[in-house]
Structure 1
Amino acid sequence: MAGAGHPGEDDIGGLVLLARAAQELNIPYIASGGVADGRGLAAALALGAAGVNMGTRFMCTVESPIHQNIKDKIVASTEQDTIHIFRTLRNTARVFRNSVTEQVVALERRPEGAKFEELRDLVSGQRGRKVYELGDPDYGVWSLGVSVGLIKDCPTCEVLLRRLEQEAEGIIEQLGKLRVQSHRSITAKL
């Protein structure tokens, strides 16, 4: 399965992965990756998930212990501000696009690829931790999912969860009004 900073190696989208999980599993499962609002929660529930995990979304909350500069960078970013690294090492990670991650990708794109030893200093977890502590988004590698494009504020966890519930309930209620009229049209019964 995929989830935000951990997209897997097969480039299979979340809609298919969640539907496959519903086909294969007889236990509750949690959807992870690409969820930042009530629309994502409603979609995950519709696909059979029992709930969602939202790593990137919770990074940008008042209670999150990361530096405010990083929270501000998250709010200002789009889904295009992420990049895959470690693809050639078969350990793909989605991270914030910055000068460090661009260097990693450039090394990986060489005809001979890259060995982890060549990347170690660039991708050091100590550098990544400093990003969150010091607030410099270009200091190192830090995980970030494409749901970053959906994040437009930095609320408290309580406000975020209430909003998430309200949005999902509203969407599910609206979906309940949809009826398949024929094999050619779906209309809302309002």
Structure 2
Amino acid sequence: MFRTRITDLFGIEYPLIQGGMRYVSCAELVAAVANAGGLGFLSAHSFPTPEALRAEIEKTRSLTEKPFGVNLTILPKLSVKPEDSARVILDARVKCVETAGGNPASFIAAFKEAGIKVLHKCTGVRFALKAEQLGADAISMTGFEAAGHPGEDNVPNLVLIPAAVDRLRIPVVANGGFTDGRGLVAALALGADGVAMGTRFLMTRESPMPEAVKARYLAATERDTTLICSSIGDSTRVLKNTLTDQILELERRGTASHEDLMAMASSLRWVQAAERGDPDDGAYAAGIGVGLIHEIPTCRELVQKIVTESRAIVGSRLNAIVG
């Protein structure tokens, strides 16, 4: 068993977190992560109605008795308002929430009053300090390596995590580029209390991502992700494919409007492409760590491999170096 402030805070066995991912973070995946000893988060904005989110929470409970949470993305144009999703989370008495996106102030206050633990996901130390001030229980620091939205500061985790740990009192989770035991040990050495993994958990058997798309991820190297939409201040790390090449060319030329770029890069488009099993017609979020993924295990196999690797690194290699 690993014991850190994160395992104590959330009542989990290992400091391994599966962050909320649209479309991917379903009951089967989240429960599998929980049953393996980690912490999984459903993605509230994957569901078309508050009732659908409520049903997925209950389905997850039917699959695991261990802790799990819900990711609440705070953005103004979601199909279901964050306030409505928050009410479901409160009514369902979910134990923990991962907040992300916009200002979490009112949500953190409501969750804290209900005794819900809050992990706030952010891209900069200044945002983390504000979340700590607002009452967040822990911070998930998203580095430049991460899939999706890594922010506009372009600071990698090798610097970002120590910078956050030096200034925060609450636990820090390292997010971005982590796939194995080497990454977990490195994050702990940098001062983090755990790691969050998106792309790595996407590439498990319990993940609903279609096999044709998983095959594209599996073939990728560390050079096969790119940042799109940086020209409009909305940098998003995605897997390189035909569509992302087109987006980058339009950005280079400056010939596409903000609305055109957002439509091409939208989650709606990539979800529709995924449902068709098309790996080229969607901007699929992918972290740089995709280049370290060479198989598609079950969540239990993945967690146990990471734990075994971590123990071997600490117990033999590092001891041999400094002993």
TM-score (normalised: structure 1): 0.88
Give the AA of the match of 2:288: V
Work out the CA distance in 2 between the residues paired with 1:22 and 1:172: 21
Work out the CA distance in 1 between the residues paired with 2:309 and 2:174: 17
Consecutive unaligned residues of structure 1, counting only runs of 5 or more, are: 180-188
Residue 172 (structure 2) aligned to one of 25, 29, 35: 29
Residue 45 (structure 1) aligned to one of 188, 197, 200: 188
Work out the CA distance in 1 between the residues paired with 2:268 and 2:260: 16
Deviation at 1:29, TM superposition (A): 1.1
Instruction: Provide the identity percentage.
Output: 44
Give the AA of the match of 1:81: D
What is residue 83 of structure 1 aligned with on the other side? 226
Residue 54 (structure 1) aligned to one of 183, 197, 218: 197
Q: How does 1:1-190 map to 2 (within 5 A)?
A: 1=123, 2-3=142-143, 4-5=146-147, 6-110=149-253, 112=254, 114-173=256-315, 174-179=317-322, 189=323
Where 1:109 maps in the other structure, the secondary structure is: helix
Conserved? CA contact 1:88–1:113, under 8 Å: no
Segments ≥4 residues shifted beyond 6 Å: none
What is residue 45 of structure 2 aligned with on the other side? none
* Change over 3 Å in CA distance of 1:124–1:12 after alignment to 2: closer
Where 2:227 maps in the other structure, the secondary structure is: strand
TM-score (normalised: structure 2): 0.53
Deviation at 1:121, TM superposition (A): 3.2
Conserved? CA contact 1:41–1:168, under 8 Å: yes
What is residue 60 of structure 2 aligned with on the other side? none
Give the AA of the match of 2:240: R
Consecutive unaligned residues of structure 2, counting only runs of 5 or more, are: 1-122, 124-141
What is residue 184 of structure 1 aligned with on the other side? none
Conserved? CA contact 2:173–2:192, under 8 Å: yes
Give the length in aligned residue pairs.
179
Work out the CA distance in 2 between the residues paired with 1:163 and 1:136: 30
Work out the CA distance in 2 between the residues paired with 1:15 and 1:70: 30
Work out the CA distance in 2 between the residues paired with 1:114 and 1:19: 39
Deviation at 1:176, TM superposition (A): 3.0
Conserved? CA contact 2:229–2:261, under 8 Å: no
Deviations 1:19-43 (A, max 9, x none): 1011111111110000001000110
Conserved? CA contact 1:131–1:142, under 8 Å: no
Conserved? CA contact 2:239–2:284, under 8 Å: yes
Give the AA of the match of 1:55: G
Conserved? CA contact 2:217–2:239, under 8 Å: no
